């Protein structure tokens, strides 16, 4: 009797497993046969096992290309993704340093030498503060992304330019109505940049005003009244400039994120070349000997030139695949070539030597 009951229970259990498997296979087959229109519309699995109507997947999910099921973004960012995020972090840092150099170095705190202005303690403190601000913003951004509390990031890979502009790809079945499936397909590469810019503002406003207060003396406390006036206002100008260019960067990211993602290595190479040429063109004496001497003997000029070289090398490293770096490493030896080319050919483009007939 006991054996008969055990056999009956086993048979019932096997029948239930077979029925559940058949039901699941039927549900999957139904999902495959009824794919959602468009490439970004998906279905969410409901608690009762059924599937919802086609629509936008929730944040952190993306529609599967084979069945239109919303699957979670559990992939790790590729090396190119990390390079892109590094580029987005370098943008505000570079602009911070540029405006700090413009307001505190080139205009006010200029220690004139034969080869131009050099660094001062005040400008170096502001440069260091900008680096700390951006670094803290990067760390906080990574901690806020999924998985929260970790420097790792879960993401969905970006396959096409359209992944950044899902708003433009809402399908219209039979041209009768529009199915709104706008979502963050390139999760979280799109949204985390906005979080980063917002944190840049918050962190800067938490550090920079105190730095202006402590580092730059007020007019009444100056030991040398011959210094330009007013010094504190130019310290504040470094804050005001960031309050302008950070929203502009956010707007550009909102409109051109996909284009920036696929073109930033080339943009970085071209901009570093142009910026390096402008740096040399600002020198009054365009002779090769003077340009070379001012670059080697002045720490500020050398740091600026090395910064251009690093940005140029960074752009090249983003273009070369990781598997081919060992083969194409000699290309990095050409990074100083544009600067040397400018120094050696500047005498041929000196406007003073151009004579009109």
- Interval 37-93: pLDDT, tens: 888 899 988 888 788 888 889 989 998 878 888 999 999 999 999 999 999 999 999
Are residue 44 and residue 106 in the same domain, yes or no? no
Measured distance CA(249)–CA(88) in Å, rounded:
9
Say what the pLDDT of residue 137 is.
96
Q: With 50 as the cut, is the pLDDT of residue 229 above it?
A: no
Measured distance CA(294)–CA(283) in Å, rounded:
9
Its domain, for residue 95, covers: 79-153+188-350
Q: Is residue 66 part of a domain?
A: yes
- Identify which has the larger pLDDT, 65 or 169: 169
Q: Residues of the chain with pLDDT > 70: what percent? A: 78
- Identify which has the larger pLDDT, 224 or 209: 209
Measured distance CA(291)–CA(257) in Å, rounded:
38
Are residue 158 and residue 290 in the same domain, yes or no? no
Say what the pLDDT of residue 228 is.
44
Tokens of 355: 């004579």
* Helices (H), ranges, 190-324: 191-215, 231-281, 288-297, 299-319
Say what the pLDDT of residue 10 is.
54
Q: What is the pTM of this model?
A: 0.82
Say what the pLDDT of residue 20 is.
39
Q: What is the mean pLDDT of residues 230-252?
A: 83
Specify whether the backbone of 149 is left (phi greater than 0), alpha (psi in -120 to 50) or beta: left
Q: Is residue 7 part of a domain?
A: no
Are residue 111 and residue 238 in the same domain, yes or no? yes
To the nearest whole number, what is the mean pLDDT of the chain?
A: 81
- Identify which has the larger pLDDT, 357 or 210: 210
Say what the pLDDT of residue 356 is.
52
Cα of first residue to Cα of last residue in the chain, in angstroms, is 120
Are residue 297 and residue 170 in the same domain, yes or no? no
Q: With 50 as the cut, is the pLDDT of residue 339 above it?
A: yes
Range with lowest mean pLDDT among 150-164, 175-189, 199-213, 220-234: 220-234
Say what the pLDDT of residue 309 is.
92
Tokens of 115: 């080869």
Say what the pLDDT of residue 289 is.
86
Measured distance CA(167)–CA(165) in Å, rounded:
5
Tokens of 246: 């950070």
Element (H, E) at 71: strand 70-72
Measured distance CA(231)–CA(212) in Å, rounded:
9
Please name which of 347, 348, 340, 320 lies closest in space to residue 79, comparing C-alpha atoms.
Answer: 320
Range with lowest mean pLDDT among 185-194, 245-254, 281-290: 281-290
Say what the pLDDT of residue 29 is.
44
Are residue 180 and residue 246 in the same domain, yes or no? no
Are residue 45 and residue 145 in the same domain, yes or no? no
Tokens of 76: 């790790």
Q: Is residue 13 part of a domain?
A: no
Number of domains within the chain:
2
Q: With 60 as the cut, is the pLDDT of residue 224 above it?
A: no
Measured distance CA(126)–CA(33) in Å, rounded:
61
Please name which of 134, 32, 144, 157 lies closest in space to residue 87, comparing C-alpha atoms.
Answer: 134
Q: Is residue 17 part of a domain?
A: no
What is the DSSP-derived secondary structure letter of residue 110? -
Q: Model confidence at 24, in pLDDT bands (50, 70, 90)?
A: very low
Are residue 149 and residue 163 in the same domain, yes or no? no
Question: What's the chain's length in residues?
Answer: 357
Q: Report the SS3 class of residue 1.
A: coil
CA distances from 333 to 82, 264, 309 (A): 24, 21, 10
Q: Is residue 23 part of a domain?
A: no
Please name which of 151, 103, 149 lies closest in space to residue 126, comparing C-alpha atoms.
Answer: 103
- Identify which has the larger pLDDT, 14 or 3: 3
């Amino acid at each position: 009797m006991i054996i008969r009951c055990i056999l009956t229970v086993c048979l019932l259990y096997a029948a239930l497993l077979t029925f559940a498997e058949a039901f699941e296979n039927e549900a999957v087959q139904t999902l495959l046969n009824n794919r959602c229109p468009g490439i970004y519309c998906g279905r969410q699995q409901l608690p009762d096992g059924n599937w919802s109507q086609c629509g936008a997947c929730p944040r952190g999910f993306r529609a599967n290309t084979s069945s239109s099921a919303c699957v979670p973004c559990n992939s790790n960012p590729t090396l190119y993704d990390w390079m892109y995020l590094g580029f987005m972090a370098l943008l505000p840092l570079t602009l911070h340093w540029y405006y700090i150099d413009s307001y505190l170095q080139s205009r006010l705190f200029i220690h004139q030498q034969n080869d131009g202005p050099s660094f001062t303690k005040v400008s170096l403190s502001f440069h260091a503060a900008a680096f700390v601000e951006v670094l803290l913003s990067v760390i906080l951004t990574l901690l806020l992304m999924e998985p929260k509390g970790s420097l790792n990031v879960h993401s969905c890979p970006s396959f096409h330019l359209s992944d950044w502009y899902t708003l433009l790809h809402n399908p219209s079945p039979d041209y009768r109505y529009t199915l709104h499936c706008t979502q963050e397909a390139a999760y979280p590469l799109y949204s985390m940049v906005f979080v980063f810019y917002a944190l840049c503002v918050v962190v800067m406003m938490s550090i920079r005003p105190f730095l202006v207060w402590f580092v730059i003396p007020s007019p009444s406390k100056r030991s040398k009244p011959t210094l330009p006036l007013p010094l504190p206002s130019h310290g504040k100008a470094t804050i005001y400039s960031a309050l302008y260019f950070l929203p502009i960067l956010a707007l550009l990211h909102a409109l051109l994120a996909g284009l920036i993602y696929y073109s930033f290595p080339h943009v970085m190479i071209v901009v570093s070349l142009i910026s390096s040429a402008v740096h040399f063109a600002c020198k009054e004496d365009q002779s090769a000997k003077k340009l070379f001497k001012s670059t080697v003997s002045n720490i500020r000029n050398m740091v600026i030139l090395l910064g251009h070289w690093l940005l140029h090398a960074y752009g090249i490293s983003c273009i070369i695949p990781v598997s081919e770096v060992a083969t194409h490493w000699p290309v990095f030896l050409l990074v100083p070539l544009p600067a040397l080319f400018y120094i050696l050919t500047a005498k041929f483009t000196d406007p003073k030597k151009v004579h009109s007939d």
